[in-house]
Amino acid sequence: MSKKGFFSIALLAVFVLSSCVVPLGGAPATPAPASLFPGGKRVIGYYAQWAAERKSFVSGIAAGKITHINYAFSNVSDKGECILGDPAADVERVYAANESVSGQADSNDAAALHGNFNQLLQLKQKNPHLQVLISVGGYTWSEHFSDAALTEASRQAFAKSCVDLYLKQYKGVFDGIDIDWEYPGGGGLSPGRPEDKHNFTLLLAELRRQLDELGASDGRHYLLTIAAPAGSGNAQNFERSEFIQSLDWINLMAYDLHGTWEKTTNFNAPLYKAAKDPSDASLNVDAAVQEYLKAGVPADKLVMGVPFYGRGWKGVPNKDNGLYQTADGAAPGLYEDGAFDYKELKDNYFSTYKRTWNEEAQVPSLYNPDTGIFIGYDDPESIAAKAGYIKDQGLAGVMIWELSQGNDDMLDAIQKGFQTGGLPHLVPTKDPNAAVVPRPFTQEIHSAGAIKIDAKLDDWPAEPTFTLNDKSQVVFGLNSNKWDGPKDLSTQAWVGWAPEGLYFAFNVVDDKHIQTSSDANLWHGDYMELQIDTQLEKDYDDLSMSDDDYQIGISAGDFAKVPPAIIVWFGPTTTPDVKTIQQAQVQTADGYILEVFIPKQVLHGITLSEGATFGMNINPSDSDGSEQEVMMSTSATRTLSDPRTLGKIILVK
């Protein structure tokens, strides 16, 4: 979800769950008008608890144009139980007549239901087809999911707490539960465990069991859904073909595919990849949808997310209307730097910025050369195109993040797309005479002798295979001054091969060694990244890391409390062979030495014999605080996950 930076002032206090008397109810919703939702498509809108603070009340929701509301968010306590996220917003705020769905001021009776929950209940009473789910977690509140999912007892306790709180105590307000764990195994703000992947499946099964048990006694069906990530990284930690049987549907977060965490401007949520897009081929909506379908998710259980907001950069040069240009960071926004509600764009930007429509990506952008600000966003034209795509693909419907950011024009565009279908996909044509982009380097790797993984360099030649100590080898930096020379970060790297596997040694100079994670979040600290491509030119047109490619993060830990760790972001993430990777590390006066052995059974698709070839980059990464600040690479063109930017390795004696 686009929820980074959205906090209620009320969250600064510690709240106690308040008791209240809630009107009983919970009858199944009546069907939505067929004319509004052709083909039984769902239109699901997230409504954030902080929206009322911005004068976007529940009463302003065009409920006749949607089928479901996901109310965001419930928190998860350190005991692994559902708790109110913001009691002041959820159940305590007293609404004035001009703010209320009913048009009447809330009662001052302390025992009465107040807040957004009461407003949602009133909205359902006026719109009998509407159903409301409580969304649990979110990007900010996923910290305790791993503990909640860890054991059978903890899973039962978590599910019971959610059912008791939202479907019993606040009976009638909610029709189901939406789980938004970002993310199993880590990768968001919070650490995780390798076993999160399967534990999440078990957690959803337990929720389904308890929801069905309650539904049997109430004579109705309670919904269970999840929000799931797009892109080829975090989605690898979901057992999608297994847990889909517990779910009514999946809400695919098909946005934030690009943003100001990247140096290059791009679209927030391109429907397709454009020919000039320099990014990974998995970072578009169509690629994400097709990847979920390939993973075993039925089309009629996949709801595709659309953003009612955009992402914007500052310091963008006046070239190609700002698209795919190097920027200086996040443009200032009303609520969050780098993020712009559609309503804000319409009110404050459309009149002074040039709009450009990209026919290949099927999304628009805004650019003003005077301000140097570029914004990739969605508008009614692109929303209609995406709704048409949903119709053409036979998907279950559309999900919106977030209702208060848009207007009726955006909701009407969804219905237009459902009626008309999508726009033609202009597939970029490939020039058959185009030259193959040369590899950034070619390097011979010699066979290794007897290498002992002991964090010593006495088994290796005097001359390293690679030396990384020059500014030209810096491929990522929060700003141009973050790399302060070889003493800040530099590396000597040795590589050798044997029939049994690949050997590596790294002598890293790092003036301030920091590592706080031993899970998928280790990239926020100091670590070594290996990128490996097994196919080279055989899959030259597949511009993304896929099952035949590897991206491995190796951390030496912090030599105190945080243990060393190896994380495989791409490649054989489900095989126990990963556990056979060996590493040893020792701290030195100016950094650390790290030795690694990756056995052959891990490196599926690679031949370890004389004359064999594959692609590889070695990328040391540095943090002097709480986030990644500098990365160097053997490839000057290194990107997150484009195998074409990997150097060519040739194995020799």
Q: Catalytic residue positions?
A: 182
CA–CA separation, 521 vs 234, rounded Å? 11
Residue 617 host element (H or E) = strand 613-622
Residue 216 host element (H or E) = helix 196-218
Q: Which 3 state secondary structure label does DSSP give 588?
A: strand
One-letter identity of residue 648: K
What is the sign of the dihedral through the CA atoms of 615, 620, 625 and 626?
positive
Q: How far is CA 566 from CA 552, 555, 598, 628, in A?
A: 7, 6, 11, 17
Q: Report the relative pairing of strands 42-48 and 68-76 from DSSP bridges.
A: parallel
CA–CA separation, 314 vs 340, rounded Å? 13
Q: How far is CA 214 from CA 179, 224, 451, in A?
A: 18, 13, 60
Burial status of residue 431 (CB atoms within 10 A of its CB: 0-12, 13-18, 19 or more): exposed
Strands annotated E in 77-115: 82-83
CA–CA separation, 488 vs 511, rounded Å? 5
Helices (H), 313-442: 342-348, 380-393, 408-420
- Other CB atoms within 10 A of residue 545 CB: 26
One-character DSSP codes across 336-373: BTTEEEHHHHHHHTTTTSEEEEETTTTEEEEEETTTTE
